[in-house]
Amino acid sequence: MDVLLNEIDHAPRRVLALVSAACVALLAFGLYLQYGQGLEPCPMCIVQRYALIGVAVFAGLAASCRGNAWRVAWSLPALAMAGFGAFVAARQSWLQWYPPQVATCGRDFYGMIENYPISRAIPMIFRGSGDCTAVDWRFLGGSIANWSFVCFALIALVLAALLARAAAARRSVN
């Protein structure tokens, strides 16, 4: 923990770049699970991907800034996106632990193409078609949603620590 805090104090741009790279790696792993392993993402998984993209973009922009004010300005939306992603992942985990009687997370791809015009089917494709309550993959006892929550929470903690250190440094200067 001391190493992380030391890195946040002395190289916040590197920490932000690592956060951005970690989000890209998580997105790549999600695409591997989808296309390499054949797991269909559900609508909540797609929303979590959008949150990861948001964190990656905002953290990357913050990492590219030399000024502390701009770095903080870009880190705040990254923190908000991480919090949103954690919320969605927590909600999906809860749905997996306590599944509702009727799951309504989306339609299958072929059903959309057969039943809807292409102008309506294409947006539906990006909403995902898997069941949000299904647990198709586990690692160390946790589902994808569980691990997604852990990753979002860790990212949010790192960003919050970075912002807290920046605020403390600003107060000490004034």
The domain locations on the chain are 2-173
| Cβ neighbours of residue 68 closer than 8 Å, sequence gap 6 or more | 166, 169, 170
Q: Does domain 2-173 have CATH number 3.40.50.720?
A: no
SS3 content of the chain, % helix, strand, coil (to 5): 75, 0, 20
Would you say the pTM of this structure is higher than 0.75?
no
CA count, 13 A, side-chain hemisphere, 125? 12
Count the residues in the chain. 174
The alpha carbon torsion through 23, 153, 147, 151 (nearest 10 deg) reads 20
Q: Around 135, how many Cα atoms within 13 Å sit in the side-chain half-sphere?
A: 17
pLDDT digits (tens, 9 = 90+) for 5-63: 555 556 888 888 899 999 999 888 888 878 888 877 877 788 888 899 999 999 988 88
